[in-house]
Amino acid sequence: MAGREPGTILITGTDRGIGLEAARQYAEAGWRVVACAHHPETALQLKKAAESADSGRRLRIVGLDVTDSSAIQALARELEGQPIDLLLNNAGLYGPKQLTFGFLDAEEWIRVFRVNTLAPLLMAQAFTTHVAQSRRKIIAVISSLMGSLGNNISGGHYIYRTTKAGANMVVRSLAVDLRPLGIIVVALNPGWVRTDIGGPHALLSTQDSVLGLRQVLERITPQKSGLFLDHDGEMLPW
């Protein structure tokens, strides 16, 4: 993909799926990648990517549970003074599929809320200075079309939908609050992707989804801050 000079990206949830593929593609494109894995010891494909010649060993693996605010702050301190061009909040959870209406569980909702909604906010709080010091200044949250109020005509999926809708609101407020620092904040829908969350029948491969997301992020401008964008760059309804 032709574009500007590669920068530094920090990605959460790189153990597998979209996060793993994003870590791979950005490293292969010459970016320095801080790949935050939940369980680095078992993230074998990520380790392979880090050792691969294609990634030029620009991919550094860091262990991070995004619900652990002290660990987030410790990582931010460790990376103090290092500009981060793109903070990609990717880690996500669907929650137990059997928890449909009538069987919902408060503790499970809170568990998913901490990953999908609260973590992007805590990450943004901790890394705003690093992003502000960079050239591109982008914070992106991998949301979901399932979090769109306007698009919800099929109902259900309470835990996932509400936590992604909450993440969208985090994006809207961050976009306003961080505008004075020149930081662009967007919510991105990766499409329906073949991962543990998307399942085997999803339409997109992780490769195509990430390629699309990278193109969207490559063309991002301050005018697009505060938007909810699809993997092909189309604007989505909140």
Ligand X SMILES: NC(=O)c1ccc[n+]([C@@H]2O[C@H](COP(=O)([O-])OP(=O)(O)OC[C@H]3O[C@@H](n4cnc5c(N)ncnc54)[C@H](OP(=O)(O)O)[C@@H]3O)[C@@H](O)[C@H]2O)c1
Residue 176: which of 225, 135, 139 has the closest Cα? 225
List strands edge to edge, sheet with 59-63.
59-63, 32-37, 8-12, 86-89, 138-142, 184-189, 228-230
Task: Give the nearer residue to ligand X in terms of CB position, either 11 or 220.
Answer: 11
Least distance CB 38 / ligand X (angstroms): 3
Are 71 and 126 within 8 A, CB to CB? no
Shortest Å, Cβ 169 to ligand X: 16
| Cβ 193 to ligand X shortest distance, Å | 4
The span from the first CA to the last CA of the chain, in angstroms, equals: 29
DSSP secondary structure letter of residue 136:
S
Give whichever of 8 and 12 is closer to ligand X, judged by the CB atom. 12
Smallest gap from Cβ 31 to ligand X, in A, equals 19
Nearer to ligand X, 198 or 226 (CB): 198
**Residues contributing to the site for ligand X (CB under 6 A):** 12-13, 15-19, 38-39, 64-67, 90-93, 115, 142, 144, 190, 192-193, 195-198, 202
Structure token pair of residue 122: 């805590």
- By C-beta, is 91 or 183 nearer to ligand X? 91
Sign of the alpha-carbon dihedral angle for 37, 184, 1, 5: negative
Minimum CB distance to ligand X, residue 209 (Å): 8
Instruction: Name which of 156 and 222 has its Cβ closer to ligand X.
Output: 156
